[in-house]
Chain A
Amino acid sequence: MAIKPDLTTKFCGCELENPFLLSSAPPTCTGEMIQRAFKEGWGGAVTKTIKPDKTPVYDLKNRFGIMGLEDKQLVLFENIEEVSKRPVGTWIKEIKEIKKNFPDKLLIGSLMAEPKEEDWETLARTVSEAGVDMLELNLGCPHGMPERGMGAFCGQRPDLIEKLTKAAKKTSSVPVMVKLTPNVADIALMAKTAQDAGADATSAINTVLGLIGVDINTFEPKPTVDGKSTFGGMSGPAVKPIGMRCVAQIAQATNIPVSGIGGISTWKDAVEYLLIGAANVQVCTAVMWRGYRIVGDLVDGLANYLSDKGFKSVTEIQGKTLPKITAWSKLNKDYKVVASINKEKCIKCGVCFIDCNDAGYQAIKFEPNSNKAAEVDEEKCDACSLCTIACPVPGCISWKRVQ
C-alpha cells in the first residue's frame, strides 16, 4: 500500500493540517458557518472582512452575476458585495467560540478600515486579542469599498500599503498577512512594499475588476440593481491565470510566504498554485457554487496525486515550477519544432486547416471529403501551436524536433 503523504504545512509559524483555506468571503460570513466548514475538513478559514462598527456597510439586493457554459458550468463569477455587516463584538464572541471548538484549525481574521492608522491599530489589536491565529489586511476589495477610500483604494497605493501594514503590525499580537489586489500595474512592487513594512505574509489575488455583462433585451448591465449596475469583482475558474501570474510574480519578488487565491476549484488547480510557490491556497467561488463538501475531494485528490508522483509531503512540490518561470528574453530561441499530424488519428474535420489558413502560416494541406488526413508543410510551419490546441482529437497533433 502506498504511504499516505503528509499534507501538513507551516504558515507563519502556524501548523496547517491541509493547505486548503476558505477565503474571506460569503462562505465565512459567521462563526457558525466557519465551524461547519471546519467539520467538513477545511484546514483553515479567513473570516469575512471585519470593519469598525462606525463604518456603514450595505448589501445591495442582487449582487452576483455569472458567465457560464451550458448546464451552468461556471466560468466566471462576479460580485458587488461589501464586507461583513456584523459588529466587531459579535465577531470577537464567535472567534473565541471557533477557537474553543477547533483549536487546531487555522483561523485568520480579515480586517478593513479607512486609511487612518488609529482605526487599523484598534481593529488589529481587538481582533488579534480575540484569539485568531493570524490577521489578513483586506487591501484588495475592488468594488464599493474603494469609493469610500477602503479596499483596493489602499492596495493600489504603496504609501498606504506601507502605512497600514505598519499600523496593524504595531498592535497585532499575531502574524499579519496583506491581501493584495490584481488591479494594479505591478503587484510585485505592492508585495515588496508590504514585506518591507513588516508583513509576515501576503495573499493574492483579490477579485479582478470587471463588468460581467449586459442584458441585451433590457439594456441593463449585470448584476442589475433596480436597473443599474457597477463594476464588480471577478472570481472563479477564468481568473486562475491572473491569480497564478500574480502569485508567481510575488513569490519571485519577496521572501515571505504567499497564500494563493484565484479560481481554485479542484485539487489540480491547487497543485498548480503550490508548484508556482504558494504556501497554501484559499478557495471561495467553488464553495459558493457547490458547498463546503468539495474539500473532501480537494484533500483526497491532492493526497492521491502526491502519492502517485512519489512525494512524501506536500512541501516537496511547493515552488517546484517557480524557477522555470522566467523572462521572455531568457527563453531558448534556438529550440525548433514543427507540428506533425498522426494520419491514423486524424478525423478529417479540417479544423487545423482552417485555423492555420486563416490565422497562421497556411502550412496545413487538407482536401475536404477526400478521406485523406491533413498534412503539415514543414517548410511553412512556424510551430505557433494553434492547430495542436484546436484539434479535437487528443494526441493527434504532436511536435517534431527539427534542426
Chain B
Amino acid sequence: MSGRTHPIVVPPQDRIKGFEPYVPNLDDRTALYEATRCITCYEPPCKNACPTRINIPEFIHRIKSGNYYGAAKVIRESNVFGGECGYVCPVERLCEEKCVRNSLGEEPVAISLLQRFAYEKEKPKGLHKFALSKANNKRVAIVGAGPASLSAAYELARGGYNVTVCDSNKKPGGLMAYGILPWKAAWSVSESEIDNIIDYGVKLIQGKTITDGKALLNDYDAIFIGTGASKSVCMGIPGEELKGVCLAQEFLFDVAKYLKKEGKAPDLKGLRVAVVGGGDTATDASMAAVRLGAERVYIIYRRSLAEMPAVPYGRKQAKDEGVEFMLLTNPVKINGEKGAVQAIECVKMELGKPDASGRRSVTPIKGSEFKLDVDAVIIAIGQKPDDETLKSFGIKTEKGLIVADKENYATSVKGVFAAGDAVNGGETVVEAVAEGKKAAAAIDKYLRR
C-alpha cells in the first residue's frame, strides 16, 4: 500500500499573478509510480463512470509498461478530446470517485494526472489517427464548435461523411476555447485536438451565426445542433440592470477574449466582487476575478458546502486564492448609486429537507437580512442555450433547452439532431463529447436507412 502522487502546485500568492496552469505534470518516474497504484480491475467502475468509457486500466497498464504512445491511443480511441478531458474533467465525481482504491480506505489512483501524462507524451509524436471509412456523398452540417459538435463532426468525418461545422466565435472550441481559462487547461491542448479533428476533413466556418436553420435543412442531409448553453441565467432580483452586474458565462468569455487578445479585460482592479452561485462556473469566475486584481472576492451561495455542486478541488483552489465563501446566504436585491452597484442585500438561509434535486432545501431566516458593500456582482446561477439560433430551426424546446430523444438524439424536426449542453442544460466537456459521439452514431443510422 502506498499513497497517491501529489504534485507540488504553484503557491496561491504566485499563481494568481497570471492565468497560467499551475499543477505540474507527472514525469516518467512519478507516472510509473502512480500507474503501479492501479489494481488493473476487470471492467472496473472507473471506466463505467467515464461518459466516454475510456479503458482506464488498459491505458494505465501501458504507462506502467513504458508504452506511452499506446496509452494515448487507448484514450483517443474512446475520447477524441482525451487530452482536454484529462485537464478539465471533474474526476472527483467521475472516474476517481469510483476507483476501487477508495474502498480500501486509500486515495484513488490519480487517473487525470496519468491521462494528462499520456497526452503530453502523444503530442510531440502527433496525435493518433484512425482509419477513415470510404467517402459517401452525404452532407452533414454541424451548428456550434464546442465539444459535443466537434466530437460528432469527428465521428461523422471518420465515417465518410462530408461534414461542415458552423460556429459564431472567432475560434472553434466553444466552452473549451472561451469558457475554460488556461489555468485549468492550456488552450494549446484543445487546439491540438481540434486540429486533429479538422485533419479528418472536417470543414470549419468560424464567425458565422446561423439565422436561417430551415435553409440549412435544404442543403444538408442531416443537421446536428451543439450550440451549448452559453448564456447565463439571471436571478430575477431588483438591481440586475445596474452597471457592474455581469453574467458569469459572459464574464469568462470576456476574460478569454482578453487573454486571446480579442478584447479588453473586465476592469476589476481594486474592486470588491460578489460571485453568486455554487457551481464550477462560480468558482472559475471567482478565481478569474482574483487574477484580474479584485481586492476582495466573495462567493455567495444559498445552501451549505455539502450541497455545493462545484467540485471540492475547485473550491479548495478558490479558497486558497483568498476567495471568501458566504454560505447559506441568498441575494435579494442589488443596491446602486448613480446607476452603479454599491452593495448586495442578502438574507441568511436555513437548511430544510431534501428537495426534488436531492439536495436539502433552504428557507430564508426572517430578520437576518444584511448588506454587503460590493462594487461588482457576477451571476453564476446557471446557463441556458442561445434562443435565437434554436428558434430559426423551429425545433421544440422546453425551459429553453432543446428537446431531443435520449436514445437517438433526434429533435422534433426530422433530420435535426442535438446533444450537449443545449440539451442537457450544462454538463461537463466529457459528457458533451460522449453525447456528440452517440448522436453521430444515431445520425449515421438515420442516413443509412
Contacts and interface: CB of A to CB of B under 8 A. Distances in A.
Interface of A: 69-71, 347-351, 353-354, 366, 368-369, 392-393
9 contacts: A347-B104, A348-B41, A349-B42, A349-B100, A350-B44, A354-B42, A368-B48, A369-B45, A392-B39
Contact of B36 (A70, A347, A350, A369): A70
The residue in A71, A349, A351, A393 that gathers the most chain B C-beta atoms within 10 A of its C-beta is: A349
A369 B43 contact: yes
B32 interface: yes
Contacts of A369: 43, 45, 48
Contacts of B183: none
Nearest to A71: B33
Contact of B44 (A70, A368, A392): A368
Interface in B52-103: 100, 103
A351 B43 contact: no
Nearest to A374: B42
A51 to B, nearest CB: 41
Interface string B226-240: 000000000000000
A366 B42 contact: yes
A126 to B, nearest CB: 50
Given A392-B39, A392-B104, A349 B44 contact: yes
A350 B42 contact: yes
A348 B39 CA distance: 11
Nearest to A353: B42
A393 B42 CA distance: 15
B104 A348 contact: no
B40 interface: yes
Contacts of A353: 42
Contacts of A351: 39-42
A70 B29 CA distance: 7
A348 B100 contact: yes
A224 B48 CA distance: 47
Contacts of A393: 104
Contact of B43 (A70, A347, A368, A392): A368
A350 B40 CA distance: 9
A216 to B, nearest CB: 10
A369 B32 CA distance: 27
B307 to A, nearest CB: 25
Contacts of B41: 348-351
Contacts of A70: 29, 32-33, 36
Contacts of B43: 350, 368-369
Contacts of A347: 100, 103-104
Given A350-B42, A353-B42, A393-B104, 10 more contacts: A70-B36, A347-B103, A348-B41, A349-B44, A350-B41, A350-B43, A351-B42, A368-B42, A369-B43, A392-B39
Contacts of B103: 347-348
Interface in B5-55: 29, 32-33, 36, 39-45, 48
Contacts of B36: 69-70
Interface string B91-126: 000000000100110000000000000000000000
Nearest to B104: A347
A348 to B, nearest CB: 7
Nearest to B103: A347
Nearest to A346: B103
Which 10 A-B residue pairs are closest in the complex by CB-CB distance?
A350-B42, A368-B43, A349-B41, A354-B42, A347-B103, A347-B100, A70-B33, A369-B48, A349-B100, A70-B32
The residue in B32, B42, B45 that gathers the most chain A C-beta atoms within 10 A of its C-beta is: B42
B2 to A, nearest CB: 9
A125 B303 CA distance: 90
Contacts of A69: 36
B418 to A, nearest CB: 29
Contacts of B44: 349-350, 368
Nearest to A354: B42
Contacts of B104: 347, 392-393
Contacts of A349: 39, 41-42, 44, 100
A380 B41 CA distance: 23
Interface string B313-332: 00000000000000000000
A186 B44 CA distance: 47
A354 B39 CA distance: 12
A70 B2 CA distance: 12
A66 B45 CA distance: 37
Interface in B252-294: none
A70 B40 CA distance: 17
A351 B38 CA distance: 12
B110 to A, nearest CB: 14
A392 B48 CA distance: 20
A133 to B, nearest CB: 44
A180 B416 CA distance: 81
Contacts of A366: 42
B69 to A, nearest CB: 15
Nearest to A369: B48
